[in-house]
Structure 1
């Protein structure tokens, strides 16, 4: 029975770890989607701002307006580079989270397999025991019958 309890404990722990890993992976995926959305917004805003800059240049710009547009575009470009770096790191974290979740699931699956084997072995032992008991009962019944026939025949 202690073997069963230890295995049950391992299965429960593995299930908890797999559930926790799945929750972490879900959170990482959500963060990744947020990071991707931020990058898309930055790219769209940069495109819009460049279009405004082009339109303003066609109308004519003062040197200070041109400098302001140019500085702001440089800041946007830097923000895009930074967001892409963040996204690369986030994707690495998601990949690590997927690996952790898969490892936890494999561990749980291994313990489940062990438990299934244990159950099959117990079922087989019980079936063999029942068969042995049945065979002994048949043998004992036959022996008693033969013994009663022998005693009645000799009388």
Structure 2
């Protein structure tokens, strides 16, 4: 088993790695949420634009205006598809970062468990040593009484 100071060092390093992994996970989640918000804005804008298009269409629309509306809607649809790909990438990063954080946390917990076991072994040895000293002291006291 590693020495207590080596375990302490491993625990400290694992804790730092876990903290860094948690920060990366937090950033990935924020980026994913931001991408989702942008998609919602694009979808809302497309809906608003389509409503405006319907209103304008009922009032009468020239062929060139119709093409312009249609062209802009096509561009919005491309932007929406692109944003959906951004979201998929962001969610993939969240999944990877969550896995990295979980791995780091598992490692840190393993080291903590080793340290706890080492401490229990140390305490048991100390308890046995103290008991042995107490027994020897009692035996000497008994021997000296006789």
Q: Which residue of 1 aligns with 2:36?
A: 36
Q: Which residue of 2 aligns with 1:126?
A: 126
Q: In 2, Cα distance between the equivalents of 1:71 and 1:98?
A: 40
Q: In 1, Cα distance between the equivalents of 2:5 and 2:134?
A: 31
Q: Which residue of 1 aligns with 2:101?
A: 101
Q: In 2, Cα distance between the equivalents of 1:79 and 1:124?
A: 66
More contact order relative to length (CA 8 Å, sep ≥ 6): 2
Q: In 2, Cα distance between the equivalents of 1:133 and 1:82?
A: 76
Measured after TM superposition, the shift of residue 143 of structure 1 is: 1.8
Structure showing greater Rg? 1
Q: In 1, Cα distance between the equivalents of 2:26 and 2:92?
A: 14
Where in structure 2 are there 5+ consecutive unaligned residues? Answer: none
Query: 1:10-89 to 2 correspondence within 5 Å?
Result: 10-89=10-89
Measured after TM superposition, the shift of residue 145 of structure 1 is: 2.1
**TM-score, normalization: structure 1?**
0.91
Measured after TM superposition, the shift of residue 144 of structure 1 is: 2.2
**TM-score, normalization: structure 2?**
0.96
Q: In 2, Cα distance between the equivalents of 1:100 and 1:123?
A: 35
Q: In 2, Cα distance between the equivalents of 1:124 and 1:6?
A: 20
Q: CA RMSD in A?
A: 1.0
